[in-house]
Structure 1
Amino acid sequence: MSDEHPTTPPRLPAKAPGRTATGARKASAKSARSRSREFALQALYQHMVGGNDVDAIDRFTRDLAGFHKADSVHYDALLHGCIEQAAALDALIVPLLDRKLAEISPIEHAVMWIGAWEFQHAADVPWRVVLNECIELAKEFGGTDGHKYVNAVLNGLAPQLRPTEVEADKASGKARG
């Protein structure tokens, strides 16, 4: 029998700051804008799947736990902007799909709406931030590999909707070309 006694507990692998052990973002690490995207995604899903009235969806969503931590102005812009411009957003997305739009999960579809809308209307959010936020939404709420599909589609849209910004990042080496 050995007399050796460990003096310190074994080290667990370090996880990234702001992440849970599974890699998901911790709720406390989410910005108000990230939260607004999450609530907008939930509301857009209700609209797509349930066909519910946007005002009823909005009232319901604002009553959800944690909404007070969201950027309500950005949430409003996303919810109403995506619904009002649904046909135009779909027209941007469809050419980049490898299947019919009806075959896309409503979660991934709504995330693509959010990304396309932000590329067009939220110039204060860098295109890479829009892309990363949408990938995180798809990872958190979508199917197993849905985030890869969202990434491919939004990466295809970015040069079309944010050409100057994407080219500047390519020239600086910040984006793959």
Structure 2
Amino acid sequence: MKPSPRRKARELAVQAVYSWQVSKNPVNDIEVNFIADNSKRRFDIEYFQLLLRGVTTNIGSIDEAIIPYVDRPLDDIDQVEKAILRVAVFELKDCTDVPYRVVINEAIELAKSFAADDSHKFVNGVLDKTVKLIRPQE
């Protein structure tokens, strides 16, 4: 089954956030390049932009939500894992129309695809704790 346009948007957003973290290039340049480079792919461009801009604009509050639930300084977390966590936490905080289980599952799948072998367990553990703070009503 082909991934949905929204799943592709999440995937590209994680890659773009990773690129932003590593390169420190302006987010607008990264956004334009990712959209141009993936123009033939069917993905939800608006959702990609929402995630990328949301993470980069709200990085402080996103990181504050992550820090209590990791066992090491944020700078020591693998860049791919950090990008996945940041996108997922933004989605949990600001995309309340998306059920938290979907957000966590998507993050786990992204970790399985892009991160180290057991990264999905780390991502799941952090998000499982974070969601209780961000969305206690669910």
TM > 0.5:
yes
1:8-157 matches, within 5 Å, as 18=1, 28=2, 30-65=3-38, 68-157=41-130
Q: Kindly indicate whether structure 1 or structure 2 has the higher relative contact order, using CA contacts under 8 Å at least 6 residues apart.
A: 2
Query: What's the % identity of the aligned pairs?
Result: 36
Q: CA deviation at 1:134?
A: 0.4
* Matched positions, count: 138
Instruction: Point out the structure with the larger helix share.
Output: 2
Matched residue type, 1:61: F
Runs of 4+ aligned residues of structure 1 deviating over 6 Å after TM superposition are none
Relative to the length of structure 1, the TM-score reads 0.75
Gaps of 5+ in 2: none
Q: CA deviation at 1:65?
A: 3.5
Relative to the length of structure 2, the TM-score reads 0.95
Gaps of 5+ in 1: 1-17, 19-27, 166-177
Q: CA deviation at 1:46?
A: 0.8
RMSD, aligned CA: 1.2
